Chains A and B, each alone.
Chain A
Amino acid sequence: MTLKHKKPGGKASSAPLMGGKEESTIFEFSSPGRSSATFRETEIPPRNPSQTIPSYYLRDSQLEFPEVSERDLVAHFTRLTHRQFSVDLGAYPLGSCTMKYNPKLADAGSVIPQFANIHPLQPVSTIQGWLELMVTLENYFTEITGMAAATLQPAAGAQGELTGLLIMKAFHEHNKDERKNIIIPDSAHGTNPASVTLSGYTPITVKSNSRGLVDIDALKQLVDKDTAGIMLTNPNTIGLFEEEIVEIAKMVHDVGGLLYYDGANLNAIMGIVRPGDMGFDIVHSNLHKTFATPHGGGGPGSGPVAVSARLAEFLPGPRPTITGRDGTGNPVYGMETPAKSIGRIHSFHGNAMVFVRALAYMMYYGGKGLREVSEIAVLNANWLKKRLSENFPAAHDRVCMHEFVCTAAKLKKDSTVRALDVAKGLLEEGFHSPTVYFPLVVEEALMFEPTETESLQTLESIASAMDKIAEMAKTAEGRGELKSAPKVTPISRLDEARAARNLISTYDASLASTDN
C-alpha cells in the first residue's frame, strides 16, 4: 500500500466472524451522523419543544444512541444469531423447561393483522374476536387442568404462582381465617419459595423421602390450622409422580388448606390425569413450555392460572366474558371484574400474542393429540433414562414421567469430572446440555427432558455423546478436554466469577473499565 489515505474511524460491519472472533457491540459500529431511521412525510410543521417546555425539563445534550446504517444493524444482529443455540437448531433437553419444537403454524397465527394491530384499550365492540379467543383458551385450559375458571393475565410462571397465592390468601381472608404457612417440598423450583414470601406467607419445607416423593409422615407433622396451603409440582421436579397425591390433598383440605399446582411439568399428564381430579384448587401453566410457544431466549412466557369453582370470584380482573347475545343469538363478549377479585395483575390483558400461539397449538392437536404428546414425552424420557443408566444412573430407578434426574456423583468420585463438565462436554458434541445442579436434593444432578418432538435417532445420538463423555473421563487427556470444554462453540468457558467481581453491565461501564 503506497496510496496515502485517511482511515475512517469506527468498526467495519463486515468483520470476519466465522472463525469465532468476538462480535463488537452495536455502539462500536457508530459513525457520527449516520442513521438507519426514516420517517413518513406528514406535512406537520416541526416545532421547537422549548416553545412550551421549560428549560428545567429539557436535556442539554443528545441521547447517545448508536449511529449505524440499516445494513450494519442487520449484519450485527444476524451475526449475534449465529452465536446462539436454539430449538430450531437442535435438541435442547433442558430439564424443567420443556424445550419442544415450536410449530411454525403458531408463528403464522400470531402475525394475523387483525390480532396484532389492536390497541389494548379499544372499546369492547371492536375486540370481539380477541375476547372470544381468550374465553376459548380459558375454557380449553380449564378442561385440560380439570378446573372451573381461569385468568390469562400472568405474564410468566412465577407471576402465575404469586397470583395463585394471592387468590389463596384472599380466600382465607374472606373466610376470616388467618393462616401463616405454605408448605413446599425441598425439590421445588426456586420461584415457589420466593413467591410465597412475596405473598406474605412463610414457606415451610417438607422433605422428600428415599423414593424422591413428599415424605407423608413428615408432612403430617407440618400440616395444621396455620397451613394456608401446599405448593406441589406433579410430576415433581425429579420427574416422579406423587403417588400419594389424593392422600396429600385430603390431609391439607382437612385442615382447611388449599393445594397449589405448579404446572411447569404439565407436559407429562395432558389427557392422562388432571390437577383438578388430583384435588388441586389452583393451577398455573407455562404456555411457553407445555403449549410450545417459543421461549424467546428467556421470555415472553405466559402463566395463566386456573381455579376451582369456589375460588372463581377471587380471580384477577377485568376478565373476558360473555355478557349477552346479539339479535341472531351469537354471544357478545365484554370485560368484567369478579366480585371479590384480587385485582389486576398486568398492565393490560397479559401476553396476548402468546395466547394465539397456545390456542393454535391446542386446536391443532385436539384432546386426543394432547394425550399423545404426553405419552410420547414420557416414553422418550424413560427410554433415555434407561439408555443412560450405565454411566449416569437415575437418582431414583423407577418409571419416570416426562423428565428424569440422573447423577454424575459416581463419575465425579471416580474421575473428578463434575456435572458441569458433562454439561459443557455435551455442548461440544452439539447438543444443549441438561439442567445441572437442580433439583438441589440430588448430588451432581443432570436433569434431562427430551420432550416428545425429539426422535429416537436424536435420543440415541444424545446417549452416544454421553457415552463418549463417560469414556473420556477415564483418561487424563479426556478429563482435561472435558474440563476445558467447550472449544467448538463461538466462545469457550467463561469466567463467571470475574463478571460478578468486576461488574460491567453496560457498554459505558465497559469503556470506563478499559480507561482505567
Chain B
Amino acid sequence: MSGFIPHTPNEVAEMLTFLGIESVDQLFETIPSAIRLSRDSLKLPDSKSEFDVLEELETLAAKNRALGPDFISFAGGGAYDHDIASAIKSLSTRSEFLTAYTPYQPEVAQGVLQALFEYQSLVSRLSGLEISNASLYDGASALVEAINLTVAQSKNGLVWISQGINPAYRQVVNTFANGTGHSIQEIPIRNGSTSWPVENPTLPGTIVIGYPNYLGLLEPMEQIISFAQANDIKLIFAYDPVSMALLRSPGELGADVAIAEGQSFGVGLNFGGPYVGLFSTREKYVRHLPGRLVGETVDSAGQTGYVTTLRTREQDIRREKASSNVCTNQTLIAITTAISMSWLGKSGIQELANRCYSGAEYLKDLLVRIDGVELYSSLPSVREFAVKTKMSSELLVDRMIEEGFLAGVPILEGFESSDVYGSLLVTVTEKRTRAQIDHYASTLERIIR
C-alpha cells in the first residue's frame, strides 16, 4: 500500500480471509452498481512524493508577494502584522495540541482543557465580562453568535448595527440573518461616529458598537450606552483586543456581550485564517452561551481538573432547540492566543498597545502634513486611522506596491453611502520602525503629488 497506509499486501490478504471475502471490492457491494465508480475514474493528477508536493506548493507560493523587508505592511482592517515570538510558535505547533481532537475524554485531554481554561480567563480579563467561551471561528462568526444570543434574550429581532463595524462582519451578519430572520439595520457613520436614530419610535433589542470602530476611532459612547440601558436594549461591543491594554473594558462600559478577532495575539496573517473569535458575556447569560465552555472541577482523588461543561446547551444534546450549531471551534488558535497573551504579560500588553499607539500617532502627524492628504475624522484613535487622499485609495495602494509598501486598506465596500468612502485605512504595529514610517510617508507624498 502507498503513503500513510501501513498495510502490506499479505496483511490485506489476511484481513480479507478473516472476513471471508476475496476482494476489497466486495465491501462496497451495498452501493448500487449504477452509481459506483470504476477504478481510477477520479480525474485528479497522479500521486506524488512528499518532495514533489512541497516543490509544487513552493512554486505556487512564489506567485504571491509576501510581506517582509521588501514589502512592508501598513494594512489592518481586522488583520494585523505583529511580531510573533519564537516561543509562541514553538509551543503552539506542538503536536499534542495540533493533533488532538475535541476533548471528549477529559482524563486524557487535560492539556487542551487547561489551556482553554486559561484562554477563557484571559479573554474575560480583556473584555471585563465574567464568562468567555472556548472560542468561535473568527470575529464575524462571534458577532453572529452574539446577535443570536441578544435577540433571543431581548425577544426583539431588530438589531441596530453601526456602520463602524468591520464591513465583512456586517456582510456575514446579513448572510446569517437570512436564516434567523433577524432584522439588521445598519446605522450610518458620519464624521467618524455613528448617527444613532434615538428619536426613532421603533426600538431595537440589540445595539452593536465598534470599540474602537473599523476606522480606528473612539466614538462618543456615553449617550448611546445610557440610551440602551434606559430602554433595556442589549449592547454588543466589537472591540480591538490590543487596545484593551489602554482602554476601559467593554464590561466596565456596560456591554452585555463583547466579541473580538484574536489574530493580533500570536497568530500570523495567514491570508485571513485560521483566526479566532473571542466571545464574552455576563454570567446571567451563561446558559445561552454559544460554543464550548471549559469548567474547573475535581477528579475522584480530589485533584483539580477541567471538563467541558454546561454541555446541555450544545447542539449534540439539544439538537434543533440549540441556540447555536457550533461544534468544532478554533481551539488551537485559542491556545496560541493564550500563550501569546501570557508571553506579553501585564507589562508587555501595555507596551504593545503603547507602541502601536505611538507609531500610529507618529505616522498620523507625518501624513497630515502632506498636501493632498487629510485626516478623515478628528476623533481620537488608538492604532488605526483613515485618511482621505486626493489620489484614489485603490490606485494609491497599487502604486505603493511597486515602492515596497502595502499602503493600507481602501475603504470601499460597505461604505457606499458614507462620507468615509474611498478613504485609506492605515495602521501601525509595534513591528514598524521610525525609518520605515518616514520612508512610507515620503513615498506616499511623492506618489500622490
Question: Is B104's CB under 8 angstroms from A94's CB?
Answer: yes
Query: Distance (Å) between the CB of B385 and the closest chain A CB?
Result: 11
> Shortest Cβ distance from B252 into chain A, in angstroms?
8
Q: Does B345 contact A (CB under 8 A)?
A: yes
Query: Do residues A491 and B330 form an inter-chain contact, with CB atoms below 8 A?
Result: no
| Interface locus among B193-201, B302-310, B439-447 | B302-310
As a 0/1 sequence over residues 396 to 414 of chain A, the CB contacts with chain B under 8 angstroms (1 = contact) are 0011000000000000000
How far is it, in angstroms, between the C-alpha of A155 and the C-alpha of B317 when the chains are bound?
Answer: 22
With a cutoff of 8 Å between Cβ atoms, the chain B residues found around residue A60 in the complex are: 248
B272: contacting residue among A68, A77, A349, A380, CB under 8 A:
A349
Is A496 at the interface (CB under 8 A from chain B)?
yes
Distance from B213 Cβ to chain A, minimum over Cβ atoms (Å): 13
Interface residue A243 (Cβ < 8 Å from any Cβ of B): yes
Q: Is B282 an interface residue (CB 8 A)?
A: no
A62 to chain B, nearest CB (A): 6
Q: For B275, what are the chain A residues with a Cβ–Cβ distance below 8 Å? A: 347-348
Instruction: Report A-chain residues with C-beta under 8 Å of the C-beta of B107.
Output: 424, 427, 486, 489-494
User: A121 in the interface, Cβ–Cβ < 8 Å?
Assistant: yes
In the complex, the answer to whether A453 meets B4 with C-beta atoms within 8 Å is yes
**Could you say which residues of chain B place their CB within 8 Å of the CB of A118?**
64, 66-67, 269-271
**Contact size range, A:** 35 or more
Q: In the complex, what residue of chain A is closest to B428 when comparing beta carbons?
A: A44
Instruction: Sample 20 A-B pairs with CB under 8 A, ordered by A number.
Output: A25-B118, A36-B342, A37-B345, A47-B357, A47-B362, A62-B347, A65-B345, A74-B90, A122-B75, A127-B65, A203-B319, A348-B138, A364-B47, A379-B27, A433-B105, A453-B4, A493-B299, A495-B299, A505-B132, A506-B130
Q: How far is the CB of A381 from chain B (nearest CB, A)?
A: 9
Pick the contact of A196 from B56, B122, B320 — CB < 8 Å? B320
B230 contacts partner chain A, Cβ-Cβ < 8 Å:
no
* B389 contacts chain A at the CB level, 8 A cutoff: no
> Which residues, 131 to 170 on A, are CB-close (under 8 Å) to B?
132-133, 140, 143-144, 155-159, 161-162, 165-166, 169-170
Verify if B359 is at the interface (C-beta below 8 Å from A). yes
Interface assignment of B22: CB less than 8 Å from any CB of chain A: no
- Minimum Cβ distance to chain B for residue A245 (Å): 7
In the bound assembly, the distance between CA atoms of A291 and B434 in angstroms comes to 45
8 Å CB interface, A99-132 against B = 99-103, 105, 107-109, 112-123, 125-130, 132
Q: Mark A68-98, 1 if CB is under 8 A from B, else 0.
A: 1010011001101111111111001010010
Please give, as numbers and ranges, the residues of chain A lying within 8 Å of B53 by CB-CB distance: 105, 109, 360, 363-364
Assembly CA distance A95 to B157 (angstroms): 39
Bound together, the chains give a CA A128 to CA B35 distance in angstroms of: 37
* Residue pair B1, A376 in contact (C-beta under 8 Å): yes
CA distance A257 to B428 in the complex (A): 51
Q: Which residue of A lies closest to B91 (CB)?
A: A77
Cα separation A113 to B54 with both chains bound (whole Å): 13
Query: Among residues 215 to 235 in chain B, which have CB atoms less than 8 Å away from a CB atom of chain A?
Result: 218, 221-222
Contact stretch, chosen from A1-9, A351-359, A464-472? A351-359
The one of B24, B297, B346 that contacts A378, using a Cβ cutoff of 8 Å: B24
Determine if B299 and A63 form an interchain contact, defined as CB atoms under 8 angstroms apart.
no
Q: Which chain A residues (25-65) contact chain B, with CB distance < 8 Å?
A: 25-27, 33-47, 49, 51-54, 56-60, 62-65
| CA distance in complex: A338, B6 (Å) | 44
Contact partner, B300, options A203, A296, A375, A492, Cβ 8 Å: A492
CB distance from A183 to the nearest CB of B (A): 12
Q: Which residues of A contact B49 (CB under 8 A)?
A: 364
A386 at the interface (CB under 8 A from B): yes
Task: Pick from B18, B297, B358 the residue with the most CB of A within 10 Å.
Answer: B297
B168-193 at interface with A (beta carbon < 8 Å): 168-169, 171-172, 174-176, 178-181
The 4 closest A-B pairs by CB, nearest first: A348-B272, A37-B348, A84-B111, A120-B272
Within 8 A of B (CB), among A320-373: 342-354, 356, 359-360, 362-373
Contact assessment for B85 and A83 in the assembled complex, using a CB-CB cutoff below 8 Å: no
* Interface positions of A from 282 to 326, Cβ below 8 Å from B: 286, 288, 292, 294-301, 316
> From B75, which residue of chain A is reached at the shortest CB distance?
A119
User: Which one of B29, B63, B166 contacts A128 once the chains associate, using CB atoms below 8 Å?
Assistant: B63
Most buried by A among B27, B49, B108, B132: B108
Taking the complex as formed, is B416 at the interface, i.e. its CB lies under 8 A from any CB of chain A? no
Supposing A200-B181, A299-B135, A343-B175 touch, asked if A371 and B73 sit within 8 A by C-beta, the answer is no
